[in-house]
Every structure is written in C-alpha cells, then in structure tokens.
Amino acid sequence: MGGKAGGRSEVGGKAADKHAVLVGHGMVGHRFVETLRSRDATDQWAVTVLCEEELPAYDRVGLSSYVGSWDHRELALAGNDYVGDDFVTVHTGVRATSIDRATRTVATSDGRSVHYDALVLATGSYPFVPPVPGHDLDGCFVYRTLGDLDGIRVRADSAGPGAVGVVVGGGLLGLEAANALSLMGMSPHVVEFAPRLMPMQVDDGGGALLARLVTDLGVTVHTGVGTSSITETDTGVRVELSDGGVIDAALVVFSAGVRPQDTLARAGGLDIGDRGGVLTDSGCATADPAVYAIGECAAVEGRCYGLVAPGYATAEIVADRLLGGDATFPGADMSTKLKLMGVDVASFGDALANSEGALEVVLSDAAKGTYAKLVVSDDAKTLLGGILVGDASAYATLRPLVGRELPGDPAALISPTGEKIGAAALPDDAQVCSCNAVDKGTICSAIAGGACDIASVKACTDAGTTCGGCLPTIKSLLAASGVVLSKALCEHFSHSRSELYEIVAATGVRTFSGLVAKYGRGAGCDICKPVVASILASTSSDHILDGEAASLQDTNDHFLANIQKNGTYSVVPRMPGGECTPEQLIVIGEVARDFGLYTKVTGGQRIDMFGARVEQLPAIWKRLVDAGMESGQAYGKSLRTVKSCVGSSWCRYGVQDSVGMAVDLEKRYRGLRSPHKIKFGVSGCARECAEARGKDVGVIATESGWNLYVGGNGGQSPVHARLLASGLDDDTLVQYIDRYLMFYVRTADRLQRTAPWVESLDGGLEHLKAVVCDDSLGIAGELEAAMERHVAGYRDEWKGVLDDEAKLARFVSFVNAPGHEDPTVMFDESGARKVPVLMGMPSVPSGR
C-alpha cells in the first residue's frame, strides 16, 4: 500500500490533491473508504486510516460467529486491506491520541503527526460497565471486540464444560453474548434490570415469549433485577443480585449497552451532544468544517444511532461531501431482524406504540411459540410498527409498509391463515434493503435492465449484501417481474436434478432409457446422462458399469480413473485418514516402478500415480486390490478424502482421536455418489492442522466434543465452512453428517458444490440447521435410513471390475486391436520429473 501519512500522496507520478485521515476502522469506517475511493474517479483524495485494533475492519455484527472457528479471517470485511489501491494507507494497532485543529494534524500513539485536509472520526462506541462493586475483577469482561472474545474463551476453557457464565444485560448484545457463552460450552445466565428481555425492541408479550424460548435453549433468565456486587471466589466469581439471589459463576460479561466514543473529540474542543457523541449537522460535519463524524460516535443533529444501516448512511454522506456533493442524513430506519440463539426476533417502526392514538393488534400462539403485533393508527388504516417473535417471515413485506396505508385487515396480515402481502404490492419508494437504503423501484429497475438473478441484483444495487434479510423480497420481485429461472436440467428433462432424484426414489425406475421415456424426451445428452447415472448410483448399490449404466458415465467414471492431458490415467488408492501400512506402501512403490508411473503425495493425504495407459489399469488395480487397497474414487463426483492431523494419539495439543474419526468417516461415506465431489477434514484441536474449515464437512475437536462445520470448499471461489453444531459426541456427529450429506445429495443442483448449495437454500445455514439438527421437515429418519442403505451396500468399484470379464473388456485403447498401445501417448523424462507430452506441442521443461 502506498501513500504518505503526512501529506500529499504521490503514486507513480500521480498525486492526490487532498489528504483525509480516518480515525477508526470498523464497519462504518471501511464503508467510508470504500465509498470515497469508488466515487473518486480522479483520485483527488488520499486516505490514511488509524486503526486502534490490531486487525483491520471486520464484521462486528457477526461477532458470535467467531466462536468455534476462532479464525478472525472469517469476519474480515472484503477488501479491508485495500491491496492494489495506492491512495489508501492503513496503520493497525495505532491510536489517535490528540487533534490539533489549528495545524490540522493528528498525533498518534506511535509518535507520528499526520496532516489532514479532512478528518473523519469513526471511533464508534465503548461498552457501558455499570459501577457495580467488583466490576473490574479478572473474571469480568465486556463483549465488543475479537480480543474480548479471546479473553472470554481462555477463562471459559479453564473453567471447563458446563461452567456458569453471567451476562449483565438482556438486550441485543446481551443475548448475543449469552449465545457466545453457550457455543463455548458454558451455561449462561442473563441478568436484565428491565422487566423483560430486549426492552428497547419488544413489549411485555414479546419479551415473555422470548424469555421462554431462550430458557428452553438452556439460558437462565433473571429479569427485573440488578447486579448488586461481584466478589472473587476460589472457583471464579460470585454475583449478588438486587433481589437477594446469588449466582456462582466462572465469569461475568457486561453487555449493558454502549456509549459513543467521543473522548478524542472532547479533548479536541469539538461540540458534544446532550447525551454524548460528536455533534454534527445533517451533512455529518462538526462545527469545524474540516472535521466530520460518522457511525456510532456521531450525534447527527443531536442523536446517536447504534445500528449499522444509519452508520453506513453517514459514511456515504461524508464521502459525497468530500467530493463536492450536498448529501444529507435522511433519518434512520431503526428496524431490526435477528436470530438470537436460533430464535427469530424482529422489531420495526413504532414497535412500542408510543404514537398518540396508536392501536395494537396482537396474535400470540403459545403452543407454536410465536408472537406477532402490529401497531396501527387510530383508524386502523396506517401501519406504524410491529413486533415479531418466533416467526419473523412477514418482516420483509411488513417493514416497508410502515407509514403507509395497509392493504387489508391488520389482523389478517399476521394470521397464519390470512392473506399475505406480496412484494409486488409494495410501492416503488418502499425501502426493501434497509442496510443499504435500496428501495423497490431501484431493484425493479435493475431487473428490467437485465439483472435476472439474485447475484446480478446484488451487484447492481448492493441490496442483500449486508445482512441478507431482504433476499426473500428480492426473489419475490424477480418472480413478479416475470423473470422465470428455468429449473430444467437440459433440453431432455424439464425437471431439476432434485426433482429427478425424487422421481427415481419414488418410482423405482432403474434405467436412463426408462426415465427419459416416461419423464423426458429425446435420447439424452452429456449433461443429463451423467446426472441420471449419479442419481441411480446414489439410490442403489448397483455397480456403475452394470448394463446400460456404463454408457451413461463420463470419461472418468467410464474407466474408473481420472484422464490426464495426454490421454493417460491416474491411479489413486484410498488411504482412509491418510493411514497406509508399510506393506501397502511397498506395493504402491513397486507398481509405480514396474509401470513407469509418476508419483505424488497429494494434499488429501494419499499417493497419486500418474501416466497409466488404459489397458494397464486392470493389472495395476489387481496388485493394489490384492494388497488390501481399494479405489480412492478420485474420478467420481463422490467422497474424495478425509484429511486428518495426528490428533490426540501423537500430538501434545490434541484433545480427540482425529485419525480414528477420520478413518471411520471415510470408510462410512466412501463411494457415496453426489452432485459434486466432497472433501472432509478432521482436526484434533482448535489449531486446525487438517484445515477442516476449508472442506465440505469439517470436524474440529474440543474438550467438550466435536464441532461440525459445513459448506466449505476451495477451488475458484474458496469458502470457509460454517458452524452447524458444537459439542457433539461421536454418535450425534455421525448422525448429523448422515442427514447433511443425504439432504445435499437429495436437493442440490447438478455440479453444485456444498458451499453454493447452502447459500441457495431458503434460509441458508439456519434452514439447514433446522433440517439437520431439529428435524424441522420430519425427514431425518428417512435421510438416515438412506445413508444406512448406502453403507450396507458399498462395494469397491475396482474389485467389481476385476471380478467381471465383461467389464474388464472395456479397458483397451482400441476395441478392434486390444493388444495395441496408443502411439500418441508420450512422456518427457529428460528432467527431474516425468511429464506428459501432447502430440505436435513442445514439452514443458521438467523440474521447473
């Protein structure tokens, strides 16, 4: 990164005319830099960022997702290092200590003085810690940064599974903190001074249901009480409550709200709002025209806003002002939709019915665990606000109607049997994406301009790119605009892959010809034939080269080997968990030597042998199978490998037998045909040496059991797996993986990896959790039974070939001259490595 922290920035002969200093690099600060740089077409401004934390901008809203992975990269905001942008310089671990407005300089904690033409304060907020006696003991923490969570983790780990953790504060952040403690294996207690949880967002009815739902999830709730004192004990801390109750705990987390971080501004002589915060006008400028404030530290016209959406708005306003615009703060939508410990909670508009003459329409269903309230005008025609607990599916269409005339009876709008509002009924100026202030009209214009899927709409409008809560509405708008996304597999089948799977499973059709005759048309193609072949393989234990099925396979499956660039094939025996006996290693070496194969140890912990001619494959596999080895199925859309570290058997950090688990999992799921290849990783501790979070299924050992991660993969678009469940015993782990894999096999599209599949599910990861962990669809038994049939019916594919003369007959280069080798297969062995040579093309220099 280029740029000079002290003034005029010169890069490659170009110079920025002005220099902005940004103090703070949270989500809002990052949005400011992104917006300014994207709109600054002539590079007027260079930016220096002073980031007090050691890490650049990350997703603080998703803080609890850090628990389990303990990988800060997972929360890093895209582009937070501004690589390739020579007009942005970031200093991490550097704090602004003072402002000299007369000289327009900022002094920093590392001793430098940075000049500015514009100073943008994005210092955020700090946790409020009530002055409770004992609040500063070692066992007391706040919940604000990744560093805070690291400290809580150390204390929780030392206390052991099931230890009590007390959260002081039952608002949004308090419940997030309780969720984090639960994910760490602790037993959370939440202490809230108000008579209900989330007192700023929900009413008594919603709070009562919320308390019941989180109690069912293992949280002990104390409402209407305060914290009197905290004292140290031999095992942790003792928390005394105002009603005389006592909680013995391992730690206390204060999450009782935040205060704007305005210390730097106060010391610099800037005006402060009545309730704190750097006072600004509607353009986010302070009384000093060279100084601006954005995000939680800004008191815009006297009011601070604690949500990310209004923070983003202030960031974009200042970027616009620096480039000569006149943007002003439009007000803030303080609506919130969250999933707290698996419980949906939404609040929008005048949720607490503070408006004069407001009426409340309430539907509470204790049996189903749902609570819905609409606040309407005194004539019941205008929507003023609402609360949804337990089921917030109506939020996306109700929130944009705040302040507008209702399209029908308010009671019907929240009734399960009432008519639902469609996205098409929303007015064009209704805000669909509150995070990025995108209205329906903007989205519809993008669709009319050719944005015909979710990804295109996101790219054109930014809608759905932050919290994702508006994605269902965007899907509805796509449908309402006449965009029809074809589900057809190809021209021969109007069905999707998942529909064909259900047809095969339900009808018992076992041939492609029978399927296309009854449910398709034509003779099939290279798209539908392999798909149907995979479905047939995943719904039975028949050999994939039996009868008609052989003609359906692609080249790799046709010869049970991966074809290479010069027409030869690779041979990859399975090594479950990376284990291999000395005798098997000797056989591999002898085979490679005798057949002149190139050998390579792969990242999947097995040995690949390259350069086998098609007619050599049976002879090679005969020797491997006789040595007790089997196909590694490197050629198939199926389970490839289960990578493992050495685990507790050898490693001093290991807490579980990762090798044993990896071997068990690979043997259980070997041969499972699926929409795409599948890879596993099993790590014996949180140090993650098996790189499990880069896999479709990742298993990481903890002291309290296994953590299960899903939906990760490498490749062109790497995606880290996300936590599905934690603290699992061996049996539950396998049960959940059974359900997850069979649900994927059953519902994914053709050639869809698990990462995009999870994203494509309505509800994403939360829906998957409900299906796998809670059996929300009532199909868990069916999925488990399907997996048991696969396990019971597994047969090694290469052994099946060796035992069948008809199958062996296909392994020839020329069907009319079985004894002849293909003369076009050539190698260059002049260097350190044997490499394939393509006829008519120069060889690649070896040993490079």
Domain residue extents for the chain: 10-125+260-322, 140-256, 434-485, 489-553, 641-793
As to burial, measured by CB atoms within 10 angstroms (0-12 exposed, 13-18 middle, 19+ buried), residue 489 is buried
Task: Report the percentage of the chain scoring pLDDT > 90.
Answer: 52
Most confident of 134-148, 357-371, 399-413: 134-148
In 3D space, the residue among 202, 179, 307, 195 whose CA is nearest the CA of residue 255 turns out to be 179
State the pLDDT at residue 487.
Answer: 75
pLDDT band with cut points at 50, 70 and 90 for residue 10: very low
Q: Contact, 695 vs 643, CB < 8 A?
A: yes
Over residues 80-85, mean pLDDT: 90
**Euclidean distance between CA atoms 345 and 337, whole angstroms:** 6
- CATH value of 140-256 in 3.30.2420.10, 3.50.50.60, 3.20.170.30, 3.40.50.10860: 3.50.50.60
Residue 834 one-letter amino acid: K
Evaluate if residue 521 carries a pLDDT over 60: yes
Least confident of 203-207, 330-334, 755-759: 330-334
The residues with which 291 forms a beta bridge, in sequence order, are 119
State the pLDDT at residue 818.
Answer: 55
What would the pLDDT profile of 233-250 be if each residue is shown by its tens digit?
999 999 999 999 999 999
State the pLDDT at residue 555.
Answer: 74
| 433 has binding-site annotation | no
Angstrom distances, CA of residue 482 to CA of 136, 441, 782: 60, 15, 36
Task: Quickly name the fold that domain 641-793 has.
Answer: Sulfite Reductase Hemoprotein; domain 1 (3.30.413)
* CB neighbourhood size of 234 (10 A): 4
| 525 has binding-site annotation | no
Mean pLDDT of the chain: 87
State the pLDDT at residue 460.
Answer: 85
DSSP 371-398: EEEEEE-TTS-BEEEEEEES--TTHHHH
Evaluate if residue 3 carries a pLDDT over 50: no
State the pLDDT at residue 391.
Answer: 84
Region for 185 from its dihedrals, namely left if φ exceeds 0, alpha if ψ lies in -120 to 50, beta otherwise = left
| 284 has binding-site annotation | no
State the pLDDT at residue 840.
Answer: 43
Domain 10-125+260-322: what homologous superfamily? FAD/NAD(P)-binding domain (3.50.50.60)
State the pLDDT at residue 813.
Answer: 66
Most confident of 94-98, 430-434, 527-531, 540-544: 94-98
Over residues 648-674, mean pLDDT: 91
Angstrom distances, CA of residue 818 to CA of 453, 564, 812, 826: 51, 21, 6, 19
**Euclidean distance between CA atoms 724 and 479, whole angstroms:** 31
What would the pLDDT profile of 607-650 be if each residue is shown by its tens digit?
999 989 888 999 999 999 999 999 998 888 999 999 999 888 88
H helix count then E strand count, the chain: 25, 41
Specify the length of the chain in residues: 848
Task: Quickly name the fold that domain 434-485 has.
Answer: Arc Repressor Mutant, subunit A (1.10.10)
Evaluate if residue 421 carries a pLDDT over 70: no
Evaluate if residue 505 carries a pLDDT over 60: yes
> Does 140-256 match 10-125+260-322 at the fold level?
yes
What would the pLDDT profile of 716-725 be if each residue is shown by its tens digit?
567 788 899 9
What would the pLDDT profile of 190-233 be if each residue is shown by its tens digit?
999 999 999 988 999 999 999 998 898 889 999 999 999 999 99
* CB neighbourhood size of 371 (10 A): 27
pLDDT band with cut points at 50, 70 and 90 for residue 525: confident
DSSP 210-242: HHHHHHHTT-EEEES--EEEEEE-SSSEEEEET
State the pLDDT at residue 242.
Answer: 95
pLDDT band with cut points at 50, 70 and 90 for residue 4: very low
The predicted model scores a pTM of: 0.59
